[in-house]
Structure 1
């Protein structure tokens, strides 16, 4: 058990400063808005200039104290500049949300994935978190308190999804990077604990089905990560994913992004490492995985995106078993 003296005490967020990467849309924008409504000063960071400006203006129009900083999390110097801008503007940083991410754009089996897909996913989803930790944790340590929230996913954080939304094998890039985020955050938690600081680490599992741009990450793919292989199938869209779910008999209900933002604020106040919603059937994957490891069994806990166990899901791309 940790010494109660070292527990975080940031229950009052009024006047504190939050930095959110991937803040131009989706979960990041929702977190920024929620922080602002708690009376916090908000720094939204994103690589997309237009959406970032729009998101920042929207918060300002609500009377919230927010600033947008154009940031490429794959570039450490850019993240360093973000930290400097936050300090110059507000004089402190108390909460850092390493939330920027890119979704799966690969097709086929993992040995067929474009190497550019791997580099893009790793640079954004893994190095982006590492850069955020390296740039901001020393600032939080100097203050003696603060929170680092890293966005994970059940796809990888629990176990990789075996079969994707369009029927074929799911990309291996995205879950691999999210598994890394969980490991990074667990390690960060331990390292912080060893120092006796009040700075805390948290991992966010948004949960459910989210209506965000990550489903269509290919629309904003940087030129330096341009595909080097000819694509064989159409790019994924959220509309196609929803249609796939519904054709499989699954009802799509989006988790409100505000609910995800609530998990973060409540988790900070409660100093909760696992920022997750209430138990759901998806949690069974965790139990099944643990049982498989302990019994030295095959990984039969892997599921397709529709929630069926891989061993019982016979449909593949093209409708053939």
Structure 2
């Protein structure tokens, strides 16, 4: 019977290979750049062919050894092909970042969410991570070393946001999927330890307000996930979200994506399960949730991002 492993994990990643899904922009591209600057080979994967081509070219122009592979994480055969392409190009894979994700596209209360919104969110944010684990972990186990980094969010990983940036109830789809990502990663961590392997699991919590395409995921919504319901309000844009915050007197400062990439590199070096930045006020949500559970109390830790009373108003609105 396998026992819990206490073996040290190698942290010298120079010359090794990282695979990053959702790599055409945002956190994914920042991770690819950071890995490349550390001397790693990089495989960027994304469902968007042209942005992926541009991201790959950008990293190559910086002298990074990089390949781009068009990948649909909702399709296991596509993720399996990504793994094979990485092995064919570089011979091994050492770091796998299951980072691809879609944001909130639903509106109104959760019982009003279009079923296609649920399916799209679950297929990308949850099944996409499962596909990454299924395709890559056996490779890492065969090598006897490696890391799996799954991108989570405080919105769901800590607790779901109650009221969103546009003033109405925040979507339930996105935080539900991110709660699942945390649970998946916790389970993966335990399962790996039980085998005695040096392969490790990590969960990434990118802190702060991010200037990434996830706010406008609807622009690239596949036809097979087309909503049956007609929207009551226009699709959310990042500009509209920023304007809403500023109108409420809140100053929006975007977290540097390079800082998040550094956070991952530091976490790999330290073999940290929790890849998180320094403590922030958001940590109070975790403490409040734990206190509520222990006291068998109401979930009064739920966050209203605009500082309004989430229980006293019931206006409907767009998405987070």
Q: Given the two structures, how large is their TM-score scaled by the length of structure 2?
A: 0.96
- Looking at structure 1, the residues matched to 212 and 244 of structure 2 have their Cα atoms a distance apart, in angstroms, of 17
Cα 1:307–1:200 change in 2 (3 A) is farther
Match of 1:139 in 2: 139
Deviations 1:137-168 (A, max 9, x none): 00000000000000000000000000011100
- Looking at structure 1, the residues matched to 314 and 191 of structure 2 have their Cα atoms a distance apart, in angstroms, of 44
Cα 1:73–1:262 change in 2 (3 A) is same
Q: How does 1:162-177 map to 2 (within 5 A)?
A: 162-177=162-177
- Looking at structure 1, the residues matched to 146 and 80 of structure 2 have their Cα atoms a distance apart, in angstroms, of 18
What are structure 1's unaligned runs of at least 5 residues? Answer: none
Match of 1:187 in 2: 187
Match of 1:8 in 2: 9
User: Is this contact kept in 1: 2:5–2:197, CA < 8 A?
Assistant: no
- Looking at structure 2, the residues matched to 263 and 315 of structure 1 have their Cα atoms a distance apart, in angstroms, of 38
Q: How does 1:161-310 map to 2 (within 5 A)?
A: 161-307=161-307, 310=310
Match of 2:71 in 1: 71
User: Is this contact kept in 2: 1:301–1:309, CA < 8 A?
Assistant: no
Deviations 1:15-48 (A, max 9, x none): 0100000000000000000000000000000000
CA shift at 1:314, angstroms? 4.2
Q: Given the two structures, how large is their TM-score scaled by the length of structure 1?
A: 0.96
CA shift at 1:180, angstroms? 0.1
CA shift at 1:315, angstroms? 7.3
Deviations 1:191-237 (A, max 9, x none): 00000100000000001000000000000000110111111111000
Match of 1:84 in 2: 84
- Looking at structure 1, the residues matched to 119 and 66 of structure 2 have their Cα atoms a distance apart, in angstroms, of 32
Name which of structure 1's ranges 242-251 and 33-42 shifts more when overlaid on structure 2. Answer: 242-251
- Looking at structure 1, the residues matched to 94 and 40 of structure 2 have their Cα atoms a distance apart, in angstroms, of 10
- Looking at structure 1, the residues matched to 35 and 156 of structure 2 have their Cα atoms a distance apart, in angstroms, of 27
User: Is this contact kept in 2: 1:15–1:39, CA < 8 A?
Assistant: yes
Match of 1:103 in 2: 103
- Looking at structure 1, the residues matched to 303 and 74 of structure 2 have their Cα atoms a distance apart, in angstroms, of 31
Divergent runs of 4+, >6 A: none
CA shift at 1:307, angstroms? 5.0
- Looking at structure 1, the residues matched to 135 and 5 of structure 2 have their Cα atoms a distance apart, in angstroms, of 27
User: Is this contact kept in 1: 2:157–2:178, CA < 8 A?
Assistant: yes
Cα 1:307–1:93 change in 2 (3 A) is farther
- How many positions carry a matched residue from both structures? 315
Give secondary structure in 1 for the equivalent of 2:161.
coil
- Looking at structure 2, the residues matched to 63 and 80 of structure 1 have their Cα atoms a distance apart, in angstroms, of 27
Match of 2:128 in 1: 128
Give secondary structure in 2 for the equivalent of 1:252.
coil
Higher RCO, 1 or 2 (CA under 8 Å, sep at least 6)?
A: 2
- Looking at structure 1, the residues matched to 155 and 54 of structure 2 have their Cα atoms a distance apart, in angstroms, of 30
CA shift at 1:310, angstroms? 3.3
Cα 1:307–1:138 change in 2 (3 A) is farther
User: Is this contact kept in 1: 2:5–2:194, CA < 8 A?
Assistant: no
Match of 2:57 in 1: 57
Give secondary structure in 2 for the equivalent of 1:42.
strand
Match of 1:114 in 2: 114
Cα 1:136–1:243 change in 2 (3 A) is same
